[in-house]
Structure 1
Amino acid sequence: MKKKHILIAAISAVSGLTHAQSTVTIYGILDANIGSFKANQLSGAGATATIQSITMSKVDSGAFSGNRWGIRFTEDLGGGLAAVGNLESGFNLDSGSSAQGGLLFGRRAVVGLASTTWGTVTVGRNSTSYNDVAVDYAMMENSIFDPSGNSISTPASTLTTINTLAGQAAFLSHNNSTGLGAQMTWLGFNNRFNNSIKYASPNFAGFTGTFTYGFGEDKTTVQPSSRSTSLALKYVNGPLLISGGYQSEGGAINQVTGAKPALENTLISAAYDFKVVKVGVGYNRGRYKGVTATGGDLAAQNEYSISAAVPVGAFTVAAGYAQSKGNDLGKASGFGLQATYALSKRTTLYAGGVSTKNYDKVAAAARVIAPSSNIARTAIYAVGIRHNF
């Protein structure tokens, strides 16, 4: 009997040791809002089609953070090496439906190895390196009230139809959005790569870097794979942050022009926390390549953003201005204002508004095709709540 008790105690000790070396975390974000959303949409078809401004009151989700639940694990392998993994599923809180096109783990699905000396490598559906630094300049927490941009973009393939009314309508509302995305001035970007490998370096005296490569895996007998590349570098020293990123999102070859449509973004940003106010500035150069009727490139959009956030107790008030300007698509500009109130460390109330005038040259071309179009500013005004768990 004594030996049995000793054996049970030994098994319990080993079991406890095993659990101590591995951690599994379940987490999530719930974010919902009520507001008024104004956007421009294609109306009718054929010769009678126009672009019309529409305003809709609705319950929406993900104004401050995309709704999600996830599982994150690490296993200590010894010698500073660990196995890591992350499964993260996005969903729409207003309807209960899956986000990211209905994917089970559309936000992230990766597994890999992490070394305290050499960095981390993950494979699967990764967030991109550009995404890691994309909102370093944004003091509005990448909310829908930020007029600059987020991870919603109009695919390069859509820009091949920019001379049609349907293509112009899709672009003016950022891929036919009536909510999140319609308020953007910047071209935007794809924040995840399927079939990708990602490397993240350890911290070297405040410097960190990442690189992501997407294999595409859509090769056919007449098409090469639509490979994508993303990289970023960041420096943090106390209240100062400086970062930069580059991303090229490849697409399938246009069989008519022989060109390979792509969206490229190059970003540099800086932020400084003065305690009483935090200020951020960003410059991005966005460009659609291989999308014209002859397979040529559109002129680059030079994009700017400046924003500031002022904390006052549990309140934080933030505002931002953004602009995008290029010779082919024209000028887009917008202004946003928001306020948050922290009920606790996990629960926040928010309210805000944003108004944007999108791409004047695209709008002018649409009015030539359909003179009775009513293309107006896009705007969002909403109040909501976010809870982290």
Structure 2
Amino acid sequence: MKKTLLAAALLAGFAGAASAQSSVTLYGVLDGGLRYSSVSLANGTGVTNFGGAYGVQSGNRWGMKGVESLGNGNNAMFQIESGFDMGNGAGQQGGRLFGRASWVGLQNAAWGDVRLGRMTNLTSDWMVGGLDPFAAGFGQLNMGNAFTSGNTVRLDNVLMYRTPVMSGFQAGLGYSFATGLTSNGGTTGYGFATSNNSRQITAGLKYANGPFYAAATYEKAYAAESTAMNGQSINNWNIGGSYDLKVVKIGVAYGQTRDGFWAGSGAGGTGATLATTPSGSSNALVFAPSVGYNSYIVGATIPVNAVSRVLLSWTMIAPNTNMKDAYNAQNQSSFNLGYTYDFTKRTNLYTYVGQTQNYATVDTAKSTIVGVGIRHQF
């Protein structure tokens, strides 16, 4: 009996020691509400919708992430994250089990971390995630509506390296061997020949020090040689910064995109899709040598009190001459207003209104959305 008790105590001790060196966290978001939306043209044609809207402020999801100490300052880490439609329970991201994130990596405070798998690109993480008052949420209100390379672009088969934070600076570089994104050259899949897959470089540099934040990113997508877009590539760079004055946090950014665009995953964030593909295709990568535009945002977050804040932004896509001539594309301008109220640290109420002129760069097209919802995080 004493041996049994001793063995149990030793096992409990070893288990405690192991758990002290590793951790796994289960987390998730439930977000739902009501929304009115309309898209119309000056000639009177249009469509409206009123009903449930889900994943507006934050996409509905559940996931797990963890870290384990390997000794000598080295850690193994992972994240898997599944997106779903709260309105009907269906999986999102094309029905993938872990479509939002699926990666494993190694980390050390001295040299940084390296990750392999499916993850968002650095423009989505460091530019939009760091500067946008709407934090990549709220559909057409978010910064990705104009900066399409950061419209929550998720890439497959990414090898990503991020440096440690040094005096506020951090750099990152990633390469996707096969993005898994569809394009106007067709779905490339995963061909044995690397060149027969769409590939992408994602790079970034950010700086955070007290109230000041700045970021610069670069994205380059290559068309698969096995498609009609063989030899084509899309190029994009962005730069921006924000400063928190306590009474208001102001952010600005500018970007250039040439020879196509990323459709991304945010509602309404399709950039020039209607101008370049009148059939309404929802291609995630559009290679088009005649397409080029500049992107702008000026945004502000205004704390009302300790539990509520007002969100404001103006964004614009300004097509270049080639795009205007080829598609009669016009400047797309969006005016956005939101308000959030925190019931607790995990549950908040939100309401929002946004209007986009020359929506998707189509002349006289107007898109308006108004909504309210509640978000719970666990």
Same fold (TM > 0.5) = yes
Counterparts of 1:187 and 1:236 in 2: how far apart (Å)? 24
TM superposition shift of 1:284: 1.2
> Which runs of 5 or more residues in structure 1 are unaligned?
42-49, 151-183, 365-374
Provide the residue aligned with 1:59 in structure 2.
52
Give the letter aligned to residue 242 of structure 2: A
Q: Deviations over 1:65-119 (max 9, x none)?
A: 1111001111111111111111100011122111111100000011111111111
Tell me if the contact between 2:357 and 2:367 (Cα under 8 Å) persists in the aligned partners.
Answer: yes
Tell me if the contact between 2:67 and 2:78 (Cα under 8 Å) persists in the aligned partners.
Answer: yes
Provide the residue aligned with 1:271 in structure 2.
242
Give the letter aligned to residue 19 of structure 1: S
Provide the residue aligned with 2:353 in structure 1.
353
Q: Deviations over 1:212-254 (max 9, x none)?
A: 1100173367963321110111001100001111112333347
> Which runs of 5 or more residues in structure 2 are unaligned?
179-188, 262-272, 277-286, 324-328
Q: Does 1:7 align with 2:1?
A: no
Provide the residue aligned with 2:308 in structure 1.
315
Tell me if the contact between 1:149 and 1:188 (Cα under 8 Å) persists in the aligned partners.
Answer: no
Provide the residue aligned with 1:118 in structure 2.
111
Provide the residue aligned with 2:196 in structure 1.
224
Work out which structure has the larger RCO, using CA pairs closer than 8 Å and 6 or more positions apart in sequence: 1
Counterparts of 1:338 and 1:349 in 2: how far apart (Å)? 11
Q: 1:56 to 1:267 in 2, by over 3 A?
A: same
Provide the residue aligned with 2:208 in structure 1.
236
Counterparts of 1:110 and 1:310 in 2: how far apart (Å)? 35
Q: Deviations over 1:319-351 (max 9, x none)?
A: 111111122133111100011111110001000
Give the letter aligned to residue 318 of structure 1: L
Please provide the CA RMSD for this pair.
2.7
Q: 1:215 to 1:40 in 2, by over 3 A?
A: farther
Give the SS at the match of 1:298: strand
Tell me if the contact between 1:145 and 1:352 (Cα under 8 Å) persists in the aligned partners.
Answer: no
Tell me if the contact between 1:145 and 1:338 (Cα under 8 Å) persists in the aligned partners.
Answer: no
Q: 1:385 to 1:271 in 2, by over 3 A?
A: same
Provide the residue aligned with 2:362 in structure 1.
363
TM superposition shift of 1:40: 5.9
Number of residue pairs the alignment of both structures matches: 335
TM superposition shift of 1:286: 1.6
* Percent of pairs with identical residues: 32
Give the letter aligned to residue 7 of structure 2: L
Tell me if the contact between 2:197 and 2:225 (Cα under 8 Å) persists in the aligned partners.
Answer: no
Counterparts of 1:142 and 1:222 in 2: how far apart (Å)? 31
Counterparts of 1:186 and 1:247 in 2: how far apart (Å)? 11
Q: Does 1:298 align with 2:290?
A: yes
Tell me if the contact between 1:114 and 1:120 (Cα under 8 Å) persists in the aligned partners.
Answer: yes
Provide the residue aligned with 2:167 in structure 1.
205
Counterparts of 2:59 and 2:232 in 1: how far apart (Å)? 28
Give the letter aligned to residue 271 of structure 1: S
Higher Cα radius of gyration: 1
Q: Does 1:137 align with 2:99?
A: no
Q: 1:148 to 1:297 in 2, by over 3 A?
A: farther
Q: Does 1:127 align with 2:120?
A: yes
